[in-house]
Amino acid sequence: MSDFKKIPYVGEATETDLLALGYTDIASLKVAVLDEMFEHTKALDLGSNGYFLNVYRMIYYYANTPRLDKNQVETVALA
């Protein structure tokens, strides 16, 4: 399907949601706008709580950080 599952904590459901939002792979997430992702998630009735925004923060960080510190990914998600 995609390479989304390389991102820590991204499973089948999140991968499906990202595909429904129009993202095709990790590289496509580099231009993502977090607030727009969250609004599209709500519009598609995929979820509407802050959990999704935190997950999107983590995913965005992962996609845009060349030398990834996996501990930092968790910190970003919890911010």
Binned at pLDDT 50, 70 and 90, residue 78 comes out as low
Q: Residue 15 has what pLDDT? A: 93
Which amino acid, one-letter code, is at 39?
E
Residues 6+ apart with CB under 8 A from 50: none
Is pLDDT of 1 > 90?
no
52 φ, ψ (degrees, to nearest 5): -65, -40
Under 8 Å between Cβ of 42 and 48: yes
Alpha helices in 1-79 (DSSP H): 12-20, 34-43, 50-64, 70-78
Cα-flanking dihedrals φ and ψ of residue 48, to 5°?
Answer: -145, 15
Q: Domain tally for the chain?
A: 1
Report the pLDDT value the prediction gives residue 28, as an integer from 0 to 100: 94
Confidence bin at 53 (pLDDT 50/70/90): confident
User: Domain of 47?
Assistant: 3-77
Query: Taking 80 as the threshold, does the pLDDT of residue 5 lie above it?
Result: yes
| Confidence band for 69, pLDDT divided at 50, 70 and 90 | low
